[in-house]
A and B are shown apart, each in its own frame.
Chain A
Amino acid sequence: GENVEQHPSTLSVQEGDSAVIKCTYSDSASNYFPWYKQELGKGPQLIIDIRSNVGEKKDQRIAVTLNKTAKHFSLHITETQPEDSAVYFCAAPKTGTYKYIFGTGTRLKVLA
């Protein structure tokens, strides 16, 4: 069946270091992969996404890479800041639908 696994579940980094969160998906037909950031008390916010026709996308300090062969995609945050502390979710679409399957989330803590 369709599944999205996300690792690690928690991640602590020192301010200024990089953070990497990885997700694997099971459906080879998936073609769109968003990442969401959820701060305490707020709804998830779309921060970056990637489509299957590219291998990498960057937006300032965040980037997403996609390996279609291995069926995994990763979120990279460089020069982390305390305001990056949040829960991050990856997602992938269910085959042939507009619905998403979400990963289990990664709680990122950036230590000042």
Chain B
Amino acid sequence: SAVISQKPSRDICQRGTSLTIQCQVDSQVTMMFWYRQQPGQSLTLIATANQGSEATYESGFVIDKFPISRPNLTFSTLTVSNMSPEDSSIYLCSVEALTMHNEQFFGPGTRLTVL
């Protein structure tokens, strides 16, 4: 399995500001994903972070609101832009490598509260 870390682990932010979340993996992986988990809810895929190209967003999520970077095979960032209280959620990074045979592993999450 892969060891995944996220920074920050939690934050409280003001409406209208932006927050960048970092995801670091201890080994090179092919696929990196960003999920949102609203309070008491299941996981919703925001986008796939592609190394060297623009991220692929799911329906309902746009690049202007959630810009994503992936400069190499072990690191990605997700920015939550122009935040509102509705963005209060847990944001999770996950990874999958070809050698993991479809298995996806999740980071510990970033708990975001927007006031």
Contact = CB atoms under 8 A, between A and B. Distances in A.
Contact of A43 (B42, B102, B103, B106): B106
B55 to A, nearest CB: 13
Contacts, number: 43
Interface residues of B, number: 21
A47 B62 CA distance: 32
A103 B48 CA distance: 19
23 contacts: A32-B102, A34-B103, A34-B104, A41-B111, A42-B108, A43-B106, A45-B106, A46-B104, A46-B105, A49-B103, A89-B42, A89-B43, A98-B48, A98-B96, A99-B45, A99-B48, A100-B45, A100-B104, A102-B42, A102-B43, A103-B42, A104-B41, A105-B42
Interface of B: 1, 4, 31, 33, 41-45, 48, 92, 96, 102-109, 111
Given A46-B104, A98-B96, A100-B104, 19 more contacts: A34-B103, A34-B104, A42-B109, A43-B4, A43-B108, A44-B106, A46-B1, A46-B103, A46-B105, A46-B106, A49-B103, A89-B42, A89-B43, A93-B102, A98-B31, A99-B48, A103-B42, A105-B41, A105-B42
